[in-house]
Amino acid sequence: MMARWSLIFMILCGVMPLTAVEQGAESFVLPRYWYEPAQNFDSNPLINLLPEDTVVWETVEGAFSYKREPVAVVPYALYDTLPLLEHYERIGLYTKGVQRETYLQPFQSFRSTVYFASEDTTLYGKAGLKLDKGFNGVLTEDGNLSVMNRFGAYWSFRHRWSAQTEQNELHRLYAKGRLGKFSIEGGRDSVNFGPGEWGLLLSSNAEPFWMIKFQNEEAIEFYGKWSFVLLNGWLMDERGDHSDPKLFAARVTYQPAGWVEIGVTRTELYGGEGRPTYQIHEMPEVIFGGKDNVPGGRFDNDGYAALDFTFSLPMDRWTGGKVKSLRFYFQEAGTDIAAPWQPEDRIFTVPWLFFHFFERAYLMGFTMSLEDHFFRLEYAKTALSFYRHHLYPQDGYTYRGLSLGYPFGRNFQSIFFKHRWNAADWLTLEYRVGLHQLPAHSEADHKKEFALDPMFTVSGGVTRYWGEATLTFPVKNLFFELYGRVEGGDAYDADPDPISYTIVRDPRVTGIAGFSIGAKF
């Protein structure tokens, strides 16, 4: 029986042939086992790049002084950017699909990792990857197809083993259709909103969830360049407050000129067992959130909104190409708002033109790239009640135990520095060092124009210092990777829930070590 299934698996994956299929050949794409990856564009933009593969997005961001197209959501197709990328070989192992209109690729890539963790933990921003104390084995594999570059599908599986857990899951699965500059996608996927490494309102930190998503695939030009995304998600999860809630999310970015990009984000956690269900004609009230946070109201849900700005400087021209890019970004988000359209307000306010956020979160930082280096410095902070709502008090703005937004959860502040060095064609070093603190606030921020104060003056809380490093060795279409992380402080949070904490006054040092091998066929 086992031999029969092994034979079927080998046939489906195309294990028999050991040579590459040339461009323009038959549409059943067989694995290429030992080949030199393409130096130029060789992927299918219809198949999403993974949001957790930050090396892709940062390589693209650092390649040009001005962004070639606004990006409302990651993943984004990058039709106007990827073909012009100077160092495409640096991301070739992470791209999806092949440059062909119609094909079937049942098995495209795999990654096998062994981790050792000193305690139960998670890897930040890695699509819900949890580790048990001790040794963990993680295996992922994926495939995809395209029909006339108008319809595509993608699937991936993730398997995790430890002494406590054996988990085999369909990690991602979606179908996607494209019409002109627009696409609609349905399936299990994840996204990242905002200008930072991790989104305040939606990120790739939690597991992929079932969604329907509508977005533009190429920039819309109207007095500048526009990008947008609309999605509705189903968070299928047994929760302590209301199981199986839904999530509406939308984001629009506008690039009036190459040096500036403005983004507006809106998310709404609603529904679930014991909560109201809405008819189609009621959804505009849910989407715009005019009756959020009105206790006892039918449309009282957990809503968030954010406004962000990204500024780019023409460093390539100013430095003769020594500095490729330099960008600064700032985002303010809130769980409530004072604005003329709110029933309880009907007033004009500051600091923004027509509205004022309450219970705010902040994200700010800068990125800089040189020929072989990429740098990021990022600060983030969330308010006392961020990610927690009076109708969702136990699990809040989470999915399967992890924050849907910034990984550290509620009422924290953090800062980290990141550096990636492409030392050689066969070696990349990436490291991050930072700290995070909680609680960041002792009271609500309603009376403050800006809620950044206090910064790093936490008393009676937890300060944790951390550092991690990744060494990647690409060899043709294979890669080997070493990973290490250490975190320590004189106190720690004993509650793994991202919206609550239990402070323990005891010095504690934790660590993770990992080794990976993978290939793209």
How many CB atoms are closer than 10 A to CB 3?
A: 7
Residue 336 to residue 357: CA distance in whole angstroms? 6
Asked if residue 20 has pLDDT above 60, the reply is: no
CB distance 85 to 41 below 8 Å: yes
At 326 the three-state DSSP class reads: strand
Asked if residue 172 has pLDDT above 90, the reply is: yes
% of residues, the chain, pLDDT over 90:
71
Rounded mean pLDDT of 106-113?
A: 95
Sequence-separated (6 or more) residues with CB below 8 Å from residue 447: none
Strands 427-438 and 462-475: antiparallel
Structural domains present in the chain: 1-33 (no CATH), 34-520 (2.40.160.130)
CB distance 474 to 387 below 8 Å: no
Token couple for 183:
């696409």
Asked if residue 328 has pLDDT above 60, the reply is: yes
Q: CA torsion 142→146→151→154, rounded to 10°?
A: 0
16: confidence class by pLDDT, cuts 50, 70, 90: very low
Each residue's pLDDT tens digit, 27-71: 777 666 666 777 777 888 899 999 999 999 999 999 999 999 999
Please tell me which residue, 43 or 158, carries the higher pLDDT value: 158
Place of tokens 């992380």: 485
Each residue's pLDDT tens digit, 193-209: 999 999 999 999 999 99
User: Which residue, among 53, 96, 48, has the nearest Cα to 76 in the 3D structure?
Assistant: 48
- DSSP letter at 84 equals G
Asked if residue 248 has pLDDT above 80, the reply is: yes
Task: Identify the weakest region by mean pLDDT among 80-89, 325-334, 409-418.
Answer: 80-89
Residue 41 to residue 82: CA distance in whole angstroms? 6
Asked if residue 10 has pLDDT above 60, the reply is: no
At 59 the three-state DSSP class reads: helix
Residue 384 to residue 361: CA distance in whole angstroms? 9
Cis-peptide into 195, omega within 30 deg: no
Please tell me which residue, 13 or 135, carries the higher pLDDT value: 135
Asked if residue 102 has pLDDT above 80, the reply is: yes
340: confidence class by pLDDT, cuts 50, 70, 90: low
Cα–Cα distances (Å) from 206 to 17, 52, 127, 144, 498, in that order, read 38, 11, 5, 23, 11
